[in-house]
Structure 1
Amino acid sequence: MVQKLPRRKVLTGIGVAGALGVAGCLDAQGNGDGNGGNGGNGNDTGNGNGNDTDDGNGGAEIDYSGTVRYGVLMPETGDLGSLGGPIRDGALLVESQLSGSLEFDVQTGDTETQPSAGQSAAQNLVDAGMPAVVGPAASNVNMQVTRSAFIPNQVVGISPASTSPAVTDLEDDGYIFRTCPSDALQGPVMSDVVMNQMEGSSTATLYLNDDYGQALESSYASAFEEAGGEVTNQVSFEAEQSTYSSQLGDALSGEPDVLMVVGFPQSGITLFRDYYSDYASDWDGQVIVPDGLIDDTLPGEVGNDMEDVWGTAPSSAGPGADFFADRYEEEFGSEPGVFNGQAYDAAAVITLATVAVGGDEADGTAIRDAIPEVANPEGTEYGPSELADAAAAVAGGEEINYVGASSPVDFDENGDVVSASYDVMRYQGGGLEVQDTIDYEAE
């Protein structure tokens, strides 16, 4: 996958949740993407909801007598615990939205951000008869879970957050998908930001010693060197240690312009406390982090506004982003964050594929085969605000193309999405603000 000439859209002044989840929320009257009778499926409701409702159910009658079954496997605790709960909620939103039109059996599991716990929780979902699972999130957990539980049992896995390039090359017989882009893209994105927006010509890396950290660090460092930059030091660290002062010292010893840090929030709290206590005042540089450290609660936990820290993360900038953000906030009382839209899209695709199969025949293999049929062109486009209408159409044998909250959700032969948008952010004023959005597409 390579970068095409990016279309950049400056989004300064937007807060983290609005930036990560959407390009902007619906107004109180629901004047969003559907536009009622002007292209949506609604009856003058302004959001394609139909039947004068505002919940996206559309009043559609779905000719499907079976049960939609899927698991949601997320890190509700552990190093990614602060991000995992909201990602889980994104996947649960589909059931809430369509519960009046379809029967659901949705079960959740906690990976604890650990491969062993993830394998145990995944096997519980498999044993409970879940033919498909939204998750896991962390790449080191995802790689273990897919190999031990999903692939051998012919269960579909769609991760909204596992970005390791290694997922692309899994020998998975087509059962493993993801709605987030590969870090084969994010590494070059970060390199571009460092060179062209942060004006750095040298960099050091400090990265979590797992599948996620190793792969993203390698992608970033390679892209940086290929662009003519200098990589001074490359230092790994283990998760959830009591201090990271020595690793920070090793990484910064070459006096780089920019330090790139890959990790998760729990480790990040300790790491950045050490950084601001021991190094920040004596080093005239800046820091950049990827999606794993995009958490608007981090400055408060660290005790510093972190205004020298930039970040990148896959954006939820799909055609249905506005509706999704509005619905998510209504349901959970907070704006969506990183990978929440990707989780919603994963659950939506599983739901539509299940309905497409029909009856009680929706096992993992049938869902696997139906996913490209409901998610990829050709067919009539339906977004999150028309999800019930999409299910009704597919139940009636119509060809559809689901376009999602996070992206158009078109999968390639490896189960990867073929296009992605990245938000470029800075920690400012105790939170996150988007500076730019960059669009990338597969060649």
Structure 2
Amino acid sequence: MTQLTRRKFVAASGVAGSAALAGCTGGDSSDGDYTIEIGTLLPESGQLSGIGTTMVDAADLAFSTVDDGADSLGVDATLGDSQSTPEDGISTANNLANSGVPAVVGGASTNVHISAAEQVFIPNGMCACSPSATAVSITQMADDDLLFRTTPSDALQGQVMAEYATEEMGAQTAAVLHVNDDYGSALSGAFVSAFEEAGGTVQQEVSYETAATSYTSRIESAVQDDPDLLSVIGYAESGIQLFRDYYAQYSASRDIMTVDGLNTARIPNEVGREMDNVVGTAPMAQGPGRDAFTSMYQEEFDAEPGPFNGATFDAAAVLMLANAAAGENDGAAISEQMRAVTSEGELTVSPDNIAEGVEAAYNGDDVGYQGASSQVSFDDNGDLVTGTYEVWAYAPDTERGIETIETFTV
């Protein structure tokens, strides 16, 4: 979007980072009394770029709305590309820290978020709010109350997956193929536990690597006992080859359940199949500010918001509100305000009046944010109190390419 020309973009390291910075005029903000410093750690490139690029758009929409609309303050946003890997994510996070950024929207994937949090965010006292890192293990991290997220924990998604699989799909046996990282392992574990509690039997739980050129042997191991349901937990780029390998050898009538990492219309297009035997689950934008955000996003990008876009806007909005309320670019001070600005306040703030809300928070007024993705209410661990999920299917004939079958609130 046009506002990127006045913002800074930080790649992981080296020549790429220098080139990106040289091409922009970052650091300028509105003439005002105070400048909010904020950054992103989102996947502009790599395995998750299919959803990451629109997440960057959603974050920058929040930044530019406040920067353009507030009179007494401005926003200086540093956009960092995690390149979808923990190693690059750590490098980019270090660049953000070295630039003095006190608060970050991200990381996006669980493995990037945990690595960046442990090695950069927490040691440097940076407040981070992830819109899409869902692993159960994040809840238990010793984080000095610096980590928050606007997406619900996988503990909830595992329940939704199991409930739909047993009650709506009639599955009594299942096998799981999951990516071999914190996200895949944790969500697989949550699903297995909930499925077995519901009376089902999990026959196989098989991991796979994203860099593999063939997934045939891993698929064979997973389906060797002919399960009623195959659950595939992973990401789009490797998922395309995985599903190509599956359909080359196995029945297109077997029920398959996948997750938010493959919630993109490009999957069936690049696999070359309708994939009408596949359903998935994903956190769903069902917040009070959803309609306002959707309208803003459509006007700016002439497109429907994608996965985690509402949660990304919310993460950016809450961090800016907390920064303004704190009145200082300090991670610990921002963290102390995160719950206050998402509780009930005299001024209800939503995506459509976020600039007014941030200015009010800076002036010491009592504000309460109601998000695009959810109500946005944090518990003691920085997790959302409730979560809404959709069960979705690929729908190539629709504008979005995805259709919602059912919704669950947990």
- Rounded Cα–Cα distance in structure 2 between residues aligned with 1:396 and 1:355: 8
Q: Residue 339 of structure 2 aligns to a residue in which SS?
A: helix
CA contact (8 A) 1:273 1:302 kept: yes
- Secondary structure of the corresponding residue to residue 276 of structure 2: coil
Query: Paired residue for 1:296?
Result: 265
Q: CA deviation at 1:68?
A: 1.1
Equivalent position of 1:343 in the other structure: 312
Match of 2:280 in 1: 311
Partner of 1:120: 91
Alpha-carbon distance, 1:63 to partner: 12
Alignment partner of 1:136 is 2:107: yes
Contact 1:163 1:212 in 2 (8 A): yes
For residue 212 of structure 1, what is the aligned residue in structure 2? 183
Partner AA of 1:94 in structure 2: A
Matched, 1:178 2:149: yes
Q: Does 1:273 align with 2:244?
A: yes
Does the CA contact (< 8 Å) of 1:63 and 1:392 recur in 2?
no
2:361 to 377, 394, 402: 394
1:200 corresponding residue in structure 2: 171
Helix, strand or coil for the counterpart of 2:280? Answer: strand
Residues 265-302 of structure 1 show CA distances to partners (whole Å, capped at 9, x for unaligned) of 00000001111111125xx4210011111111111111
Judge conservation of contact 1:318–1:404 (CA < 8 Å) in 2: yes
Cα distance in 1 for residues equivalent to 2:380 and 2:249: 48
Counterpart CA distance in 2 for 1:120 and 1:63 is 32
**1:331 is matched with which residue?**
300
> Which of the pair has the greater relative contact order for Cα pairs under 8 Å at 6+ separation?
1
Aligned residue for 2:89, secondary structure, equals: helix
2:322 to 336, 339, 353: 353
Of Structure 1 and Structure 2, which has the larger fraction of its residues in helix?
2
Counterparts of 1:395 and 1:247, CA distance in 2: 54
Structure 1 residue 69: deviation in Å? Answer: 1.2
Counterpart for residue 437 of structure 1: 407
* Structure 1 Cα separation of the partners of residues 288 and 215 of structure 2: 41
Within the candidate set 69, 94, 106, 2:62 is matched to 94
Match of 1:424 in 2: 391
Who is 1:261 aligned against? Answer: 232
Once residues 375 and 144 of structure 2 are traced to their aligned partners in structure 1, the CA distance between those partners, rounded to angstroms, is 24
Residues 112 and 392 (structure 1 numbering): CA distance in 2 closer, same or farther, change over 3 Å? Answer: closer
C-alpha RMSD of the superposition: 1.5
Does residue 322 of the first structure (1) align with residue 291 of the second (2)? yes
Q: C-alpha distance in 1, partners of 2:251/2:64?
A: 46
**Contact residue 375 and residue 401 of structure 1 kept, 8 A:** yes
Whole-Å separation in 2 of the counterparts to 1:64 and 1:226: 56
Asked if 2 retains the 8 angstrom alpha-carbon contact of 1:64 and 1:355, the reply is no
Distance 1:65 1:96 in 2: 17
Distance of 1:345 and 1:278 partners within structure 2: 43
Structure 1 Cα separation of the partners of residues 95 and 344 of structure 2: 35
Secondary structure, counterpart of 1:419 in structure 2: coil
Match of residue 127, structure 2, among 153, 156, 176:
156
Counterpart Cα distance in 1 of 2:373 and 2:386: 10
| Letter paired with 2:228 | D
How far the C-alpha of 1:64 sits from its partner, in A, is 6.3
Mapped partners of 1:316, 1:180: distance in 2: 9
Cα drift, residue 196 of structure 1? 1.4
More moved, 256-265 vs 368-377: 368-377
The reply on whether 1:221 has 2:188 as its aligned counterpart is no
Q: Which residue of 2 aligns with 1:385?
A: 352
The 2-side partners of 1:159 and 1:92 are apart by 15
Counterpart position of 2:74: 103
> Which residues of structure 2 form unaligned runs of 5+?
1-29
Count residues in correspondence. 375
Partner of 1:16: none
Q: Decide whether the 8 Å contact of 2:286 with 2:374 is kept in 1.
A: yes
Structure 1: give runs of 5+ residues left out of the alignment.
1-61
- Cα offsets for 1:112-138 (capped at 9, x unmatched): 111111000000011111100000111
State the alpha-carbon separation in 1 of the partners of residues 66 and 168 from structure 2.
43
1:71 matched to which residue of 2? 39
Question: Which amino acid counterpart does residue 428 of structure 1 have in structure 2?
Answer: A
Residue 234 of structure 1 contacts residue 251 of structure 1 at CA under 8 Å; is this kept in 2? Answer: yes
Provide the TM-score with structure 2 as the length reference. Answer: 0.89
Q: Distance in 1 between matches of 2:81 and 2:242?
A: 25
Cα distance in 1 for partners of 2:269, 2:187 equals 26
Q: How far, CA to CA, are the matches of 2:224 and 2:214 in structure 1?
A: 17
Give me the identity figure in percent.
Answer: 42
How does the TM-score come out when normalised to structure 1? 0.82
